[in-house]
Amino acid sequence: MTHSSSPAPHDGTVLQVCSLPASLDSALAAHHRTVRLTEQADPAAYLREHGDEVVAVVTRARTGVSHDLMDALPRLGAIVNFGVGYETTDVARARARGIEVSNTPDVLTDCVADLAVGALIDVMRRLSAADRYVRRGDWVPGGFPLTTKVSGKRVGILGLGRIGRAIARRLEGFDVELSYHSRTAANDVPYQYADSPRALAAGADVLVVAAAGGAGTRGLVSADVLEALGPHGFLVNIARGSVIDEPALVAALVGGGIAGAALDVFVDEPRVPPALLGLDTVVLLPHIASGTHETREAMGELAFQNLHRFMTEGALVTPVPAL
Ligand code: 8YV
């Protein structure tokens, strides 16, 4: 594992810019001069008066560090991200200023992959819908509709990174036919490579979106890709809402253009398109893929290790990949 090199330890303020799990919050306060920006009566005034004291920022996937905040911190040397996604921070801009960025990869891979498989089974076998059916008392007259078999189906994975690969490994146990699309074909997997998202969708019964968020993947699952998936196709998204053309997804779900979707992420969280709320063919989850005690503790520990090593040794543990 390579570490970014900032030779000297750092003496300065750690700026926490969002709420964080209690254990990470406490560790930051206990070991470093940490200021919570959200607790400042006038954050802008704080930044004007003390911005030059800040050497590190701790943030989370959905918050990131804005250009304005980065510009208000002339001595900033590191942005430590609680979460694997970091598209909310302009890494190129940070690196141009010599600011290193870390995230928390690997420690959440299992939970996100587990949830993806669970959501896939849920939406195809309509588990959540069946639970509501029983609770409503509809079983008395009976007649819950037949659903769709999971085992043996064709599954296309959009984005074969750590999480996409973990999902694929899990699905091998269901004897599915696996294909994938990434920017480049991998040479170490037995799965069929599709040279575009549309080709992937056209050859799949289920499209699983596991691609990183950000400008490079925005709207990658377009109306055209959804049409290729077709009226018997299912979609699972555990990545970022931005990867899908959300209005097109809503139209496909409402109009029967696809058979169903399991969604853990949305463009404007925590707001969910209202048209989806009444659909029994949609599984709606509140961005919980990494949301287990074990995984959030591990993410917090890794985020703290990054911050602590930067402050004491001048290097990060898990810097984000080079652009
Ligand atoms: C975050 C996520 O952990 O890690 C990510 O990129 O999307 C989540 O699992 C959660 O949003 C905390 O910010």
Give the three-state DSSP class for 10.
coil
| Any atom of ligand 1 within 6 Å of the Cβ of 77 | no
Long-range contacts, 5-10 (Cβ 8 Å, 24+): 5/314, 5/315, 6/77, 6/78, 6/98, 6/100, 6/310, 6/314, 6/315, 7/314, 8/314, 9/311, 9/312, 9/313, 9/314, 10/55, 10/56, 10/77, 10/78, 10/310, 10/311, 10/314
Predicted pLDDT at 3:
40
Count CA atoms within 13 Å of residue 206 on its CB side.
30
CA of 255 to the centre of ligand 1 (A): 31
For ligand 1, atom 6: residue with the closest CA: 85
* Ligand 1 atom nearest 86 alpha carbon: 6
| Any atom of ligand 1 within 6 Å of the Cβ of 238 | no
| Spans of the chain below 70 pLDDT | 1-8
pTM: 0.95
CA of 103 to the centre of ligand 1 (A): 10
The class (CATH top level) of 13-106+293-313 is: alpha beta
CA distance 95 to 161: 23
* Ligand 1 atom nearest 104 alpha carbon: 4
Predicted pLDDT at 7:
56
For ligand 1, atom 9: residue with the closest CA: 290
Domain boundaries, the chain: 13-106+293-313, 109-284
For ligand 1, atom 2: residue with the closest CA: 83
CA of 265 to the centre of ligand 1 (A): 10
Residue from 23, 80, 109, 287 whose mutation best tests the ligand 1 pocket (most atoms within 8 A of CB): 287
CA distance 316 to 64: 17
Per the rule left: phi > 0, alpha: psi between -120 and 50, beta: everything else, 124 is alpha
CA of 295 to the centre of ligand 1 (A): 11
* Ligand 1 atom nearest 213 alpha carbon: 6
Which residue is it, tokens 């659903």?
147
| Any atom of ligand 1 within 6 Å of the Cβ of 10 | no
CA of 83 to the centre of ligand 1 (A): 4
Q: Which residues pair with 60 in a beta bridge?
A: 82
CA distance 7 to 302: 21
CA distance 211 to 164: 8
284-307 core/surface letters (b: 16 or more CB in 10 A; e: else): ebebebbeeeebbebbbbbbbbbb
Q: How far is CA 87 from CA 62, 65, 216, 290, 312, in A?
A: 8, 10, 10, 17, 27
Per-residue pLDDT of 231-272, as tens digits, reads 999 999 999 999 999 999 999 999 999 999 999 999 999 999
For ligand 1, atom 5: residue with the closest CA: 83
CA distance 173 to 181: 21
Predicted pLDDT at 26:
97
Name the residue among 256, 259, 214, 208 with its Cα closest to residue 236. 208
CA distance 28 to 36: 10
Q: How far is CA 190 from CA 155, 179, 185, 186, 193, in A?
A: 13, 9, 11, 9, 9
Question: Which amino acid, 142?
Answer: G
Give the three-state DSSP class for 59.
strand
Contacts with 217 (C-beta within 8 Å, 6 or more apart), sequence order: 159, 211, 240, 242, 243
Preceding omega of 270 cis (within 30 degrees of 0): yes
CA of 204 to the centre of ligand 1 (A): 27
Predicted pLDDT at 235:
99
For ligand 1, atom 3: residue with the closest CA: 83
- Active-site residue numbers? 240, 269, 287
Give the CATH H-level superfamily of domain 109-284.
NAD(P)-binding Rossmann-like Domain (3.40.50.720)
